Amino acid sequence: MQKKPLIAFRGVQKSFMGKEPIFSNIDMEISKGEFTFLTGVSGAGKSTIFRLLLGLEKPDSGSITFNGAEVTAMVGDEKSRHRRSIGMIFQDYKLLEKRTAEDNIAIPLQINGISRNTKEIKIKDIASKLKIDNILKQQVRSLSGGEQQLVAIARAAVHSPKLILADEPTANLDQKMAGRIFDMLTLLNVEGITVIVATHDINLLKAHKRRILLLKQSCLIEVH
Ligand SMILES: Nc1ncnc2c1ncn2[C@@H]1O[C@H](COP(=O)(O)OP(=O)(O)OP(=O)(O)O)[C@@H](O)[C@H]1O
Ligand SMILES: [Mg+2]
């Protein structure tokens, strides 16, 4: 029997406010454990693909499944659980600036009702993995952009999500830090988390040979 994909888009079309669709007839599959780049010019719809996957937007038509469940049909608790099973990373980090790195990383664990002891262990583990143990007690606003992004990655990964979506995670960083961010995402991927990185950072795409999905002229094509 063929293995079920973790993510499947079938005939997905999306438009906003009655305008021309930004894309139509999107078909794609991503298997568990894959590391995929999603690229395309500004406005092509990369962030929209992520929002559809999270169930924050609804497609005009088509089906989106995650782990076999139809995302477009999810409501209430099921939808919340679905969102919690995905770690998000943004270009502008979206951290609580006045709180410490540790407080920020703890948020998904608090939402998931994890006990204090387990919480401490999990934060320690992820901080050591991402080599940010030394900044855990610092206020986020005192950290460099790259350090803030590492904290955001720790927050996205601390509750072992099935999937991490990174939306332009290296856009505000220099090449060396971008490389470090990429290495950390790779490390999480090697440990079993499926990763999709939306980017138009050509350096990143060239430096790392991975599957590339390109949004172009309202279509999604595979680039080899
Ligand atoms: N909530 C919304 N309401 C109206 N239009 C929207 C909305 N969200 C996205 N769009 C439009 O859909 C298109 C795709 O936007 P999206 O943010 O997905 O592109 P992107 O590929 O992520 O771009 P960038 O590289 O600049 O981040 C754009 O034309 C945008 O203006
Ligand atoms: Mg975007």
| Nearest-atom index, ligand 1, CA of 17 | 4
**Does the structure show a pLDDT above 80 at 3?**
no
Determine the residue of 14, 17, 39, 47 to mutate for testing ligand 1's pocket, defined as the one with the most ligand atoms within 8 A of the Cβ atom: 47
Q: Whose CA is nearest to atom 31 of ligand 1?
A: 43
Q: Whose CA is nearest to atom 5 of ligand 1?
A: 16
Q: Which pTM was predicted?
A: 0.96
Question: Residue 4 — very low, low, confident or very high, per pLDDT cuts 50/70/90?
Answer: confident
CA of 72 to the centre of ligand 2 (A): 21
Residue 186: its H or E element: helix 175-190
Give residue-wise pLDDT tens across range 79-88.
999 999 999 9
Average pLDDT for the chain: 95
Q: Per-residue pLDDT averaged across 211-219, rounded? A: 94
Residues at CB less than 6 angstroms from ligand 1: 16-17, 22, 40, 42-48, 200
Give residue-wise pLDDT tens across range 14-37.
999 999 999 999 999 999 999 999
Which of 56, 55, 70 is closest to 8 using CA atoms? 70
**What are the CA-CA distances from residue 43 to residues 21, 22, 35, 179 (Å)?**
12, 8, 23, 25
Give residue-wise pLDDT tens across range 87-136.
999 999 999 999 999 999 999 999 988 999 999 999 999 999 999 999 99
CA of 48 to the centre of ligand 2 (A): 7
Q: Per-residue pLDDT averaged across 54-61, rounded? A: 97
Residue 89: its H or E element: strand 86-90
69 contacts: CB under 8 Å, gap ≥ 6? 78, 82
Dihedral sign for Cα atoms in the order 92, 206, 131, 155: positive
Q: Per-residue pLDDT averaged across 191-216, rounded? A: 93
